């Protein structure tokens, strides 16, 4: 067994990203390529990242990593710094040093921290460190091909048209996320428009492969009115049979939906409230595939 006291904890710099990506590909399994791990550490928005997380090195060799994505947001008129904690992986023989990675990240002052995909072990650890859980009540929606009258509502998904329909904050969000793994749609009718971001997820429920997980809705009232057209679009245009809609994101329970067991998402902040935490600028928008467990409430 190695002497974990000699293992160094270092910030992941641009020069380290390739080595960290190769470690994650090797240690997490080959399902995610080295290139995809590299992209997961590469934000598409304009911000000087203090690091890409922290890593463990033993004699120069990467033996552990905890990834992070940083963003600066304006919330209630004030600039806020957010650090989204991503994949945390440590080689088996170095597990005793793994907590040093997380503590190094959390020692960075002035940040609100989010952990949006923690496993059960990490949930227990986060709770001891002061993280709180978000209310992630979610509905499973069947994307049905109802013969719905569009009433002039357009479902817009081409970049040029989306840019023409958005302005201000939503236009910035779109430009920051246009090159991520997330997908973008604007539901528009006349001067009413709702910008929706969703991701295409792998499911692990009765071999049903794909789900659309809704990450952001700019105007929940408009979305409620036009949602049937959105779900129909997902089925007929994108071949996605179901959607996951958190009520904190869409602000209503969709019609003819099934409520599922919550998925744990956590945050640590000195002053932000749960309703001020969203899923933008995070691994949920940047990482291509995140498996989704679907369970009915127990």
Fold of 4-133: Aminopeptidase (3.40.630)
pLDDT tens per residue, range 99-135: 999 999 999 999 999 999 998 889 999 999 999 999 9
pTM, to two decimals: 0.91
Q: What is the average pLDDT score of the chain? A: 91
What residues contact 135, with CB distance under 8 A and at least 6 apart? 247, 248, 262, 274
pLDDT tens per residue, range 23-71: 999 988 777 899 989 988 999 999 999 999 999 999 999 999 999 999 9
Domain over 138-261 is classified CATH 3.40.630: yes
**Nearest-angstrom CA–CA distance, 268 and 114:** 6
pLDDT tens per residue, range 196-215: 999 998 765 544 557 899 99
Token digits of residue 54: 């922290």
Same fold across 4-133 and 138-261:
yes
Segments making up each domain of the chain, as ranges: 4-133, 138-261
Residue 201: per-residue pLDDT: 86
Helices (H), the chain: 17-27, 34-40, 99-106, 120-128, 159-165, 168-177, 220-238, 247-250, 283-286
Confidence label for 291 from pLDDT (cuts 50, 70 and 90): very low
Token digits of residue 86: 């991503």
Confidence label for 2 from pLDDT (cuts 50, 70 and 90): low
Is the confidence at residue 298, as pLDDT, over 60? no
């Amino acid at each position: 067994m190695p002497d974990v006291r000699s293992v160094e904890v270092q910030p992941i710099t641009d020069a380290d990203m390739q080595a960290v990506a190769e470690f994650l590909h090797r240690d997490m399994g080959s399902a995610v390529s080295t290139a995809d791990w590299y992209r997961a550490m590469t934000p598409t928005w304009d911000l000087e990242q203090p690091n890409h997380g922290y890593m463990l090195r033993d004699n120069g060799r990467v033996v552990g990593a905890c990834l992070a994505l940083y963003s600066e947001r304006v919330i209630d008129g004030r600039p806020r710094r957010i650090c989204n904690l991503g994949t945390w992986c440590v080689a088996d023989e170095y597990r005793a040093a793994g907590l040093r990675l997380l503590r190094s990240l959390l020692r960075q002052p002035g940040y609100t921290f989010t952990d949006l995909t923690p496993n059960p072990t990490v949930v227990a650890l986060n709770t001891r460190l002061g993280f709180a859980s978000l209310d992630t009540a979610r509905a499973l929606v069947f994307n049905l091909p109802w013969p719905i009258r569009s009433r002039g509502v357009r479902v817009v998904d081409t970049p040029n048209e989306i840019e023409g329909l958005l302005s201000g904050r939503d236009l910035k969000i779109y430009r920051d996320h246009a090159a991520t793994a997330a997908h973008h749609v604007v539901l528009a009718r006349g001067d009413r428009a709702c910008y929706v971001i969703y991701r295409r997820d792998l499911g692990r429920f009765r071999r049903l492969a794909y789900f659309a997980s809704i990450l952001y809705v700019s105007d929940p009232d408009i979305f409620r009115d036009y949602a049937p057209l959105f779900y129909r679009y997902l089925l007929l245009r994108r071949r996605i049979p179901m959607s996951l809609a958190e009520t904190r994101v869409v602000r209503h329970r969709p019609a003819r939906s099934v409520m599922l067991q919550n998925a744990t998402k956590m945050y640590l902040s000195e002053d932000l409230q749960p309703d001020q935490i969203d899923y933008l600028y995070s691994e949920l928008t940047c990482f291509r595939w995140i498996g989704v467990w679907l369970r009915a409430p127990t």
